[in-house]
A = this chain, B = another copy of it.
Amino acid sequence: MVDQDPKTPRERYRAQVREEIKEHAWEQIATAGATALSLNAIAKQMGLSGPALYRYFAGRDELITELIRDAYRSLADTFRATTAASGTASPDLTALAHALRDWALADPHRYFLIYGTPIPGYHAPDDTTAIAAEIMATLLDACAALPDYAPPVPFDAHLAEHRQWAGDHPAPPAVLHRALTVWTRLHGLLSLEAAGQFTGMGFDPARFYEAELHDLLRGGPVGAADGKPRSAAAG
């Protein structure tokens, strides 16, 4: 959002046109998907000649790289803003989940650019992993703030020995497990909804999302307030 101190008018102009190119790129991705991204098409849409864009991006790959980076940063910023807005020390999982859904559905192709089918022959730049780690850390913080709700399961023990992905986050294995679960379950819902797999099925995806979220919070204040805690069935 904020330009990094463009001093001269020319630098300001450059940054501005770069942004404009990226905006048109996003429009194009929203219409035809990421694989259909075409420099020439963007140029035409902007009333420019094809080669003109090479003043701003070294090529198609650099543009896509930049878009991926922006997408990651956008989600990280959203999470950061959500955390800040809560006013509490650690982020609220419910608020994060809602922010995630809003963010994903606002531009499904942007969501898929990060979490969807990988673009053939392309792989994300290295520095995105740092941003992805920040996103994950926020999720871990939110999960760490929830009350315990279940005895350890075998997978927790496995995670205790395979926690590289969590960096130096001090969360215990059960919290690692919970954060992963939040990620994959919400992604399952969002990716199917964004892909249009729920259309025509009849139910309201938002309510389903809410139900999954409640289940993830089970044992916490929201889950406890919502209804009786689940009990094991009689065998």
Binding site for B on A (CB under 8 A): 31-33, 35-36, 109, 112, 115-121, 129, 147-151, 153-155, 158-159, 162-165, 177, 180-181, 183-189, 191-192, 195-197, 200-204, 207-208, 210-212, 214, 218-221, 223-224, 226-235
- Contact present for B192 and A184 (CB under 8 Å): yes
Closest-CB distance, A136 to chain B (whole angstroms): 9
Cα-based distance from A118 to B198 in the complex (angstroms): 13
Say which residue of B33, B35, B165, B197 sits within 8 Å of A201 (CB atoms): B165
Say which residue of B36, B185, B210 sits within 8 Å of A120 (CB atoms): B36
> For residue A235, which residues in chain B have a CB less than 8 angstroms away from its CB?
147, 221, 224
- Contact present for B227 and A229 (CB under 8 Å): no
- Contact present for B228 and A151 (CB under 8 Å): yes
- Contact present for A151 and B227 (CB under 8 Å): yes
Cα-based distance from A224 to B208 in the complex (angstroms): 26
> For residue A159, which residues in chain B have a CB less than 8 angstroms away from its CB?
203
> For residue A220, which residues in chain B have a CB less than 8 angstroms away from its CB?
233
- Contact present for A121 and B197 (CB under 8 Å): no
> For residue A177, which residues in chain B have a CB less than 8 angstroms away from its CB?
211
> For residue A154, which residues in chain B have a CB less than 8 angstroms away from its CB?
207, 211, 226-227
- Contact present for B232 and A229 (CB under 8 Å): yes
Say which residue of B150, B151, B211 sits within 8 Å of A153 (CB atoms): B211
9 intermolecular pairs with C-beta atoms under 8 Å apart: A32-B120, A32-B121, A33-B35, A117-B195, A155-B207, A163-B202, A165-B200, A184-B189, A229-B231
- Given A164-B201, A221-B235, A231-B229: A118 and B196 interface contact (C-beta under 8 Å): yes
- Contact present for A153 and B227 (CB under 8 Å): yes
- Residue in B closest to A151 when the chains form the complex, CB atoms: B228
Closest-CB distance, A201 to chain B (whole angstroms): 4
Cα-based distance from A204 to B115 in the complex (angstroms): 19
- Contact present for A203 and B112 (CB under 8 Å): no
Cα-based distance from A224 to B164 in the complex (angstroms): 31
- In order of increasing CB-CB distance, the 8 nearest A-B pairs are A188-B188, A229-B232, A155-B211, A165-B201, A33-B120, A219-B233, A162-B202, A184-B188
